[in-house]
Amino acid sequence: MVHKILIANRGEIAVRVIRACRDLHIKSVAIFTEPDRECLHVKIADEAYRIGTDAIRGYLDIKRIIEVAKACKADAIHPGYGFLSENYDFAKECEDAGIIFIGPKSDVIRKMGNKNIARYLMNKNGIPIVPGTDKLNNKSINEIKDCAEKIGYPVILKSSGGGGGRGIRVVFKEEELEEAFEACKREALAFFNNDEVFMEKYIQNPRHIEFQILGDNYGNIIHLCERDCSIQRRHQKIVEIAPCPSISDNLRKSMGVTAIAAAKAVGYTNAGTVEFLLDDYNRFYFMEMNTRIQVEHPITEEITGIDLLVRQIRIASGEILDIEQSDVKPRGYAIEVRITAENVWKNFAPSAGKITEYYPALGPSVRVDSHIYKDYTIPPFYDSLLAKLIIKATSYDLAVNKLERALKEFIIDDVRTTIPFLIAITKIKEFRRGYFDTSFIEMHMQELLSKTEDRHQDNKEEVIAAIAATLQKIRASREKN
């Protein structure tokens, strides 16, 4: 077993890893940049080291992070999610330095981090993929138009090295293609330092279903059931549910077998996620593989009773996976909602500031993963995630009821959060029935805004203007389609 782990991350996930370390009696090391000096992960780690003054740059400084790990004699690094978690160079530098990277091997990260390579490998191994192309950068615009014509509109342009909803453009007709292609390349280069773009058939309004994978260093791979991540805004997940409330047992079994086959095709180790798109005819297609722990991992933990962070550490330490697929028996339903510092009434603009009151929800089977506390000042430099509220119940209907209750008890002042918007989601009929797809937020935005109670009591004119602006966008989108 490793004896000291450096967490190359911040915020909620850093706190989560530190707690897993404590459960295993392993020393934890936090890193932080100057704006994060008062963040909770810095306060609760056994050791903490500043890695720079720039808010972001320090968390991306591979050389500096490895220097700190060596200096404090950490024998392992946990990358969390985001930042360097899926960076091939970081994993390779850790391996070369003799430091355990808690995740898959660097070569697997390289292969699955490039969506074109991933598509090729999946297709080669019989995993269903969405019809599409290889990279388009070496083709003329006329050749790209020919590709779109063969695939059939609408199509979606994607960055080969992208993720998190960046580097994506949906194209409904030929006249939009050239401009969308150039915009996709620019965004891909800006966010991923790689302007490689490819094209796929755009599956309209699919369900987004992902399977949690665990694999040890000896070829044993299992899945821990699925999560439904269809409720999204701008390709960003808002609500996640495990298991999916609207698929059959036969479909679940078929997708699970395929997810394991996908992981075995690349020799996957540690925790990862195989993501699928599921269409109206229950045909599913490989979307991507995330080679890290996911934000939404707690709902899998809740229905299976398996601590994924502890398992990550044990697998990285060389332990054999002592769970077989037949041992995985999910119980009940779990739902996670992401509470973010955003102003719903100003087009979800980020909302930084000092938290004057903080009372997280409590009660049976209610869990909160967070890094905030009373009098904590939210810095404006990072992702807006403040807390993850996770609830569990014996049935999906009861889970939704419990979620609504817990959200109404959750208090974060004096910053704007998405709590009222999340409460509104629990009141929508389709959500309560468990039947929805990735168009849920867009299709219900008017109703959601009308049901969203403004705890800060904005004037009615601002509320009406927000609804009118949203309706105008929806009408324009429908006219385009």
Identify which of 167, 234, 190, 243 has the alpha carbon closest to the alpha carbon of residue 439: 234
Q: Which residues contact 309 (CB under 8 A, 6 or more apart)?
A: 16, 17, 19, 20, 293, 297
Q: Are 379 and 5 in contact (CB under 8 A)?
A: no
From CA 265, how far away is CA 127, in angstroms rounded?
9
From CA 352, how far away is CA 238, in angstroms rounded?
19
The 3-state DSSP class for residue 446 equals: helix
Q: 219-223: long-range contacts at Cβ-Cβ below 8 A with a sequence spacing of 24 or more?
A: 219/264, 220/320, 220/321, 221/260, 221/263, 221/264, 221/268, 221/321, 222/260, 222/321, 222/323, 222/324, 222/325, 222/328, 223/256, 223/259, 223/260, 223/274, 223/325, 223/328
Known catalytic residue at 10: no
- Looking at residue 204, what DSSP letter applies? S
Quick one: the chain helix, strand, coil %, rounded to 5? 40, 25, 35
From CA 57, how far away is CA 260, in angstroms rounded?
36
Residue 284: phi and psi, rounded to 5, are: -115, 150
Say which of 207, 292, 311, 314 is annotated catalytic: 292
Burial class (CB in 10 A: 0-12, 13-18, 19+), 126: exposed
Paired with 171 in beta bridges are 155
Paired with 210 in beta bridges are 227, 275
The tokens for 175 are 């006249």
Q: 423-432: long-range contacts at Cβ-Cβ below 8 A with a sequence spacing of 24 or more?
A: 423/451, 423/452, 423/453, 424/448, 424/449, 424/451, 424/452, 424/453, 425/231, 425/238, 425/239, 425/337, 426/400, 427/451, 431/231, 431/239, 431/400, 432/397, 432/400
Catalytic residues: 292
